Amino acid sequence: MKNIFLLFVFAVMSLHAGKIRIACAANVSYAIAPLVEAFKLEHPETNIELILGSSGKLTAQIKHGAPYDLFLSANMRYPQALYEADMSLDKPRLYAQGALALLSVKARQNWHALTVLQSPKIKKIAIANPKTAPYGIATVEALKNAGVYETLKDKFVYGESISQTIIYATTAADIGIVAKSSLYAPQMLKYKQGIHWSDVDERLYAPIDQGMIMLKQAEANAEVKAFYDFMLSAKAKEILRSFGYKV
């Protein structure tokens, strides 16, 4: 009888536990686990479901009725579009600025400028698809401003998200242009700055402002508002900085 009672209590608690569905841009996927872990220290009963993908595809899903509560985008344009379509509770808020980096599995020297990509030894370059990924837009902008886009475009291997781009950069391509945040993930720490990866000159592309919005279905969900506020907190900023973001 006691065990039945405990099971009943657990079931009731589960029914009342909050749930958040977060649509999360692929570049944030590397930082989201410690962010969720820190949030759950204060909200241990909140269940968080993460849906990862390119910002463009996640936006399309939201427009077609996907039941997401919060959207963490890799730029401001996609959440702004959802706000203008009256699908959010408020205007998008900036939560971080991302950056680009060159990544090569093979150790390289003297490769701190994008002109290194013109080397005949580099046959394939992984980049995010600019049609779906804001980091792809920034990559194309940087390559054009460096004056190398036209000579390199036949070498591109496109990833639909920055996560897929990293897979291509470490397997199918000679080198890739990726989100700097990905290089701070535990599985990527074997790649060393100055040996396997290098920053892309930030003067070559517009700041990658990353925005978030609460979607209308979250209006009565206090846990969503709590996570939204947490993303703007000092603790979240500390975590984001540790993944190479500016906050």
Residues 126, 68 share a domain: no
pTM assigned to the model: 0.86
Alpha carbon distance 103, 167 (integer Å)? 11
Q: Which residues of 106-123 are buried (b: 16+ CB within 10 A; e: fewer)?
A: eebeebeebebbeeeebe
Residues 91, 35 share a domain: yes
In a domain, 9, yes or no: no
Rounded to whole angstroms, what are the CA distances from 81 to 88, 103, 132?
A: 10, 32, 14
Residues 127, 218 share a domain: no
In a domain, 10, yes or no: no
Spatial CA neighbour of 26 closest among 173, 133, 121: 133
Spatial CA neighbour of 243 closest among 53, 55, 31: 31
Spatial CA neighbour of 58 closest among 49, 48, 68: 68
Task: Specify the pLDDT at position 108.
Answer: 81
Alpha carbon distance 76, 60 (integer Å)? 15
Query: Is 135:162 a contact under the CB 8 Å cutoff?
Result: yes
Residues 107, 77 share a domain: no
In a domain, 126, yes or no: yes
Domain range for residue 93? 19-97+208-242
Domain count, the chain: 2
Task: Specify the pLDDT at position 133.
Answer: 92
Residue 195 maps to which CATH number?
3.40.190.10
Residues 143, 62 share a domain: no
Task: Specify the pLDDT at position 140.
Answer: 98
Task: Specify the pLDDT at position 179.
Answer: 96
In a domain, 1, yes or no: no
Alpha carbon distance 147, 53 (integer Å)? 30
Residues 192, 227 share a domain: no
- Which residue reads 């241990």 in tokens? 44
Locate all alpha helices (DSSP H) within the chain, ordered by sequence: 2-16, 29-42, 55-63, 77-84, 134-145, 149-152, 162-170, 222-231, 234-242
Alpha carbon distance 71, 22 (integer Å)? 6
Alpha carbon distance 27, 193 (integer Å)? 18
Task: Specify the pLDDT at position 18.
Answer: 85
Residues 198, 214 share a domain: no
> Up-side HSE of residue 14: CA atoms within 13 Å toward CB?
6
If you ran DSSP here, which 8-state letter would residue 200 be given? Answer: P
Task: Specify the pLDDT at position 24.
Answer: 97
Alpha carbon distance 12, 199 (integer Å)? 51
Alpha carbon distance 62, 83 (integer Å)? 12
Alpha carbon distance 8, 20 (integer Å)? 23
Find residue 139's DSSP bridge partners: none
Residues 225, 180 share a domain: no
**Ranges in the chain, pLDDT < 70:** 1-17, 110-112
In a domain, 2, yes or no: no
Residues 23, 83 share a domain: yes
Strand segments, DSSP code E, in 129-201 are 156-159, 175-179, 197-199
In a domain, 11, yes or no: no
